């Protein structure tokens, strides 16, 4: 778990939109990677897509469009 002071720095830095400073951007990315925050977000997004699909699937008839919709959900989590 990220220490509170680092979490506060990270939040404050992101909220100030310091994306024009390459060093600060790399520090933010480093902290996100060090604490596996991105991995956690991807896992949560994957769970959200899977849970939503489980609720939606029964309402859709089997078709190529249904397959494409499911594939779109997987793609969005994987690529974004």
Q: Looking at the structure, tell me whether residues 27 and 56 fall in a common domain.
A: no
Q: What is the number of structural domains in the chain? A: 2
Please say if the pLDDT value at position 67 is more than 90.
Answer: yes
CA distance 23 to 58: 49
- Rounded to a whole number, what is the largest CA-CA distance in the chain? 51
Identify the domain containing residue 22 by its residue range: 4-35
Please say if the pLDDT value at position 23 is more than 90.
Answer: no
- 2-12 pLDDT per residue, tens: 889 988 998 88
Q: Looking at the structure, tell me whether residues 45 and 71 fall in a common domain.
A: yes
Per-residue model confidence (pLDDT) at position 19: 66
Q: Looking at the structure, tell me whether residues 30 and 50 fall in a common domain.
A: no
| pLDDT confidence band for 18 (50 / 70 / 90) | low
Contact 14, 37 (CB under 8 A): no
CA distance 26 to 10: 12
Please say if the pLDDT value at position 65 is more than 90.
Answer: yes
Averaged pLDDT for residues 15-19: 75
Tally Cβ neighbours within 10 Å of residue 75: 12
Contact 75, 53 (CB under 8 A): no
Q: Looking at the structure, tell me whether residues 20 and 43 fall in a common domain.
A: no
């Amino acid at each position: 778990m990220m220490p509170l002071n680092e979490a506060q720095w990270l939040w404050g830095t992101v909220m100030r939109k310091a994306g024009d400073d390459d060093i600060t951007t790399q520090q933010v990315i480093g902290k996100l990677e060090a604490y596996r925050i991105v991995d956690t977000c991807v896992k949560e997004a994957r769970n959200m897509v899977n849970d939503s699909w489980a609720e939606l699937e029964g309402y859709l008839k089997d078709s190529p469009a249904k397959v494409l919709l499911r594939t779109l959900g997987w793609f969005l989590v994987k690529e974004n």
